Amino acid sequence: MRDHLCIEEKCREGIEYHKEFIAENREDIRNLEEDIKNGIQRKSKDNKSRIEASYLRTFKYELEDIRAKYSLGEDISAIEEDFHNAIYDLEHTGTREVGYLSMLWTISLGILLETDKKNIERLSKVVEEKEINDSVIDFLLYASNIGHTKINNDYYKENPYSKTREIIELAQTDKKKASKRLQTYMEKEWFKGHYDYE
């Protein structure tokens, strides 16, 4: 196990629970796409919106599963397929709100899993399409060497993320100080800044 705070049984139950919902969502998407081809509208909400909502739900389940599998210590190659599926679903959410933390988690997991640069480029495109303006996300994309040059000075959530700028700047000149500042940030500031979050 990579995360000794996670409860193995709960993680495994969650993964199994999500399998059923992911399969149902995929079936709903196929049926709705078929309805679009045949000009059928079964509900008052348009089929395209319903498809995007199904993709978003599936993305959220997959993201939870990736985090659980990583925490359980599963082999990275086994998680990679889930990651590809999550990106695909994310790309098909249209204009729907994905959530800042979900986007941050996805990019961070891509880096942690050492995914192919093409996947990070795909995530960068989603950030651009959804007009997410955030310094932390921009820095992660920039540091991934995919040619992302936009570094925004805005933070989606000032507390605790604005404090990362100091760490990033310190890392340019003094890695030891940056490491110490990062440790303080993680231990004393990061968690406190998430009490009221999503």
Over residues 74-88, the pLDDT tens digits come to 999 889 999 999 999
Is residue 152 one of the residues assigned to a domain?
no
Q: How far apart are CA 160 and CA 163, in angstroms?
A: 6
Is residue 92 one of the residues assigned to a domain?
yes
Is residue 164 one of the residues assigned to a domain?
no
Q: Give the pLDDT of residue 198.
A: 52
Place of tokens 């440790």: 183
Is residue 184 one of the residues assigned to a domain?
no
Using 50 as the pLDDT threshold, list the residues of the chain that sit under it: none
CA distances from residue 15 to 7, 29, 82 in whole angstroms, order as listed = 13, 21, 11
Is residue 71 one of the residues assigned to a domain?
yes
Contact 120, 144 (CB under 8 A): yes
Question: 119: closest CA among 80, 75, 70?
Answer: 80
What pTM was computed for the model?
Answer: 0.87
Q: Give the pLDDT of residue 1.
A: 65
Q: How far apart are CA 53 and CA 39, in angstroms?
A: 20
Q: Give the pLDDT of residue 196.
A: 61
Is residue 154 one of the residues assigned to a domain?
no
What's the chain's Rg over C-alpha atoms?
19
Query: What is the count of structural domains for the chain?
Result: 1
Is residue 174 one of the residues assigned to a domain?
no
Domain containing 14 equals 1-96
Q: Give the pLDDT of residue 185.
A: 86
Is residue 101 one of the residues assigned to a domain?
no
